[in-house]
Structure formats: C-alpha cells, structure tokens
Structure 1
C-alpha cells in the first residue's frame, strides 16, 4: 500500500535570484515546482522532473548567459 500523505512544500529562494525583481523559489520536496517569491499565494508552475532537470542543467552550463 502506498502512503498518499501530502508532502508539505519546502520553498527556498533560488541562488540565481537577484535583488532586481528576479525572485524565484523552488520546492525542494517537489522537484519542478517553482513560484514567484514576491507572490507566495500566487500560482505555482509545475514541470515534469526530467524537464526541470534539463532546464537547471542548461543554466549551470551557461546556456542562458546567467551562470
């Protein structure tokens, strides 16, 4: 039998956030869940884990010019 107890979010501000309006939080308990830290009650974007991993890997490689 599977435990279907909801997991509480563990939001943390991304290390790529800046003080100029770019504030993103990621949920460490649900990979691929992202929200705007300035609007914590607002919408949450959800990406499939492989898509999210590919996106993060591309950032680390500098493909968007921000790493």
Structure 2
C-alpha cells in the first residue's frame, strides 16, 4: 500500500473496539485495527463497492 492512500476507520465499524480500517483507491485495503500487523485484505475498488452495496440491502 502506498502512503498516498491513508487508512481510516470504516464508517460501518461501531464504537466497541472491534473496528475495521480501510484505505481506498484503485485497490481497497482492509485490516483489523486490533491486529494491524497480521494481515490485510486487498480488493479491487469495484469489488469493495459491491460488498458494501450487499451489506446495505
């Protein structure tokens, strides 16, 4: 991931300490805030958008 795409807390995360952070761009990066160093998911932006659309139905 490049430094030009900053991480931010997902608006879908609650305030109970179980948060997801995303860095959006041509590729969307997703990680668990409690385990940042373990791994991240990387999805093409159109797949991330489709995922969010499915969640809000």
Instruction: Using structure 1 for the length normalisation, give the TM-score.
Output: 0.63
How far does the alpha carbon of each residue in 1:9-57 deviate from its partner, in whole angstroms, 9 at most, with x for none?
Answer: 4100011111334310001345421000112212011112221110112
Unaligned stretches of 5+ in structure 1? 1-5, 62-67
Which protein shows a greater Rg?
A: 1
> Of the two structures, which has the highest relative contact order with CA contacts closer than 8 Å and spacing of 6 or more?
2
Which structure shows the higher helix fraction? 2
Output the aligned Cα RMSD. Answer: 2.1
TM-score, normalised relative to structure 2? 0.71
Once the two structures are overlaid, the 10-residue window that deviates more, 41-50 or 23-32, is 23-32
Instruction: Indicate yes or no: 2:18 matched with 1:7.
Output: no
Query: Unaligned regions of 5+ residues in structure 2, if any?
Result: none
Count of matched residue pairs: 56
SS of match in other structure, 1:38:
helix
